[in-house]
Amino acid sequence: MATRPWSSVTEDAAPALHCEIAVTGMQILAPIGAHRHERGRLQPLVLEIRLTIEPPECDALAAAFDYHRVAALAERVAERHVVLIETFARELAASLLLERHVVAAEVRVEKRWALANGVASARVAMRR
């Protein structure tokens, strides 16, 4: 299947393009926490990720950022214990910035079991 360029506008007349993608509601189990009762067990986190990317040059999956990479990188960060959800968010954002096409990453992490009557969350934003 041939790919189509997005438009036939000449390079000189092309408008500045901002492209943002999001992955929301991603649930992951991670070894996270500072307290004794949190160590040695997995806890559920809910992730919200917003990425500013270089827009794809054509209408083809091969030219775009693959959403599945977000899940794969989140799983990789969750392989080791971290104390703070801020650390988890920072490490995931830093990993995402290493990906081709990604210019900025914002990661929000919710830790549902952090409080008996609420949800703790942290947000980290990074640019390259």
Q: What is the pLDDT of residues 9-18, one digit of tens each?
A: 555 666 678 7
Q: Which residues contact 30 (CB under 8 A, 6 or more apart)?
A: 42, 43, 45, 77, 78, 82, 88
| Beta bridge partner(s), residue 125 | 106
Most confident region among 8-12, 35-39, 89-93, 117-121 by mean pLDDT: 89-93
* Mean pLDDT on 19-41: 93
Nearest alpha-carbon partner for 70 in 22, 126, 32, 104: 22
Domains of the chain, by residue range, sit at: 16-42+65-105+112-127
* Mean pLDDT on 73-86: 96
Whether the per-residue pLDDT at 105 is higher than 70: the answer is: yes
Q: Structure pTM? A: 0.85
CA 104/CA 78 separation, integer angstroms: 21
CA 128/CA 104 separation, integer angstroms: 6
Angle at CA of residue 51, ends 86 and 77, nearest 5°: 40
Q: What pLDDT does 81 receive?
A: 95
For the chain, report the end-to-end CA distance as a whole number of angstroms.
34
